[in-house]
């Protein structure tokens, strides 16, 4: 069982409103989202597009509900823009998150990502040149040091449709970055990428010492296989229902939880499952995820 004094549970707002496809959940408000998070038994949230941009306003709203901001997505563009472009934006995001109460900032290189395009997520995935690897990893080293200036940590989100997606790419990324560049381990993206949960378990076991943040995302393999066969995009897969919450898809999270427990993981576990809220009611699925996590971890 996981230690409740070390591991805290959060949920991402993308189940209520999808920032990549704002038409999904456009009717759901910030207040509804964070209220249902709290009602479902979560004590943390990542930041969504409908959240207040004034950290004081945001913090007051979530404090009322017993919720803490734990992280936010931060896009980097080291492969497509001058380094200063990303650094300037990162500092703004860092300072906002710090004031909102978060001590983690999650980054993903989007300079040549195809996750928001119509390209086939499997067949047209970017592959970094050696020059791009250097730009991304040296850039992340600098961002991690900037995070440390505020007593914060940086975690890198491996992601479908990007240059850091596969286990081999994760290995190389971690080899080329400093130890204070942590890994945001996302079970769903690794199962999606490799077609099996064994790959996700192996990555977690290998790199547990660098894991600073965890996303609990499940997949429906039938949908993943359809995305691959039909050469569909990442967002088309989301609409089809490739992702769901833990306990509703094809991943058994037991070995993942066991690795986290055995290695005394300390930090956030975040339920993240972008679905069409008109089909998958966010509150219902939040309750389903919360019950599954309690059954498997005792949290």
Reported as a single tens digit per residue, the pLDDT across 32-86 is 999 999 999 999 999 999 999 999 999 999 999 999 999 999 999 999 999 999 9
Interval 103-153: pLDDT, tens? 999 999 999 999 999 999 999 999 999 999 999 999 999 999 999 999 999
Phi, psi of 151 (to 5 degrees): 70, 25
Residue 144 pLDDT: 98
Kindly list the distances between the CA atom of residue 27 and the CA atoms of 65, 199, 241, in Å, as whole numbers in the listed order.
21, 37, 19
Residue 87 pLDDT: 98
Rounded Cα distance between 157 and 69, Å, is 17
Residue 120 pLDDT: 98
Confidence of residue 99 (pLDDT cuts 50, 70, 90): very high
pTM of the model: 0.97
End-to-end CA distance of the chain: 8
Architecture of domain 7-297: Alpha-Beta Barrel (3.20)
Q: Is residue 19 predicted with pLDDT exceeding 90?
A: no
Q: Is residue 22 predicted with pLDDT exceeding 90?
A: no
Kindly list the distances between the CA atom of residue 254 and the CA atoms of 167, 267, 284, 295, in Å, as whole numbers in the listed order.
20, 18, 22, 10
Tell me the mean pLDDT in the region 233-246: 96
């Amino acid at each position: 069982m996981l230690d409740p004094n070390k591991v805290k549970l959060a949920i991402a707002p993308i189940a209520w409103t999808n920032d990549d496809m704002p038409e999904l959940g456009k009717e759901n408000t910030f207040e509804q989202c964070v209220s249902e998070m709290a009602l479902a038994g979560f004590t943390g949230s990542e930041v969504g597009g409908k959240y207040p941009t004034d950290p004081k306003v945001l913090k007051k709203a979530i404090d009322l509900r017993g919720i803490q901001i734990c992280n936010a997505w931060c896009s980097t563009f080291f492969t497509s823009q001058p380094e200063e472009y990303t650094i300037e934006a990162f500092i703004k995001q860092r300072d906002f998150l710090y004031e909102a109460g978060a001590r983690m900032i999650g980054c993903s290189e989007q300079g040549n990502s195809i996750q928001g395009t119509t390209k086939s997520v499997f067949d047209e995935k970017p592959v970094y040149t050696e020059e791009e690897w250097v730009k991304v990893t040296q850039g992340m080293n600098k961002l991690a040091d900037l995070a440390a200036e505020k007593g914060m940590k940086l975690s890198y989100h491996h992601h479908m449709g990007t240059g850091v997606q596969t286990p081999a790419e994760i290995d190389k990324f971690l080899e080329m970055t400093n130890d204070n560049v942590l890994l945001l381990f996302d079970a769903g993206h690794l199962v999606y990428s490799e077609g099996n949960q064994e790959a996700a378990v192996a990555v977690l076991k290998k790199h547990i010492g660098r894991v600073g943040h965890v996303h609990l995302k499940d997949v429906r393999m039938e949908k993943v296989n359809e995305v691959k066969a039909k050469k569909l995009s990442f967002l088309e897969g989301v609409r089809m229902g490739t992702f769901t919450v833990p306990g509703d898809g094809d991943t058994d999270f037991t070995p993942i939880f066991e690795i986290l427990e055995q290695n005394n993981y300390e930090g956030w576990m975040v339920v993240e499952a972008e679905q069409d809220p008109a089909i998958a009611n966010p509150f219902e699925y939040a309750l389903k995820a919360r019950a599954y996590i309690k059954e498997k971890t005792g949290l």
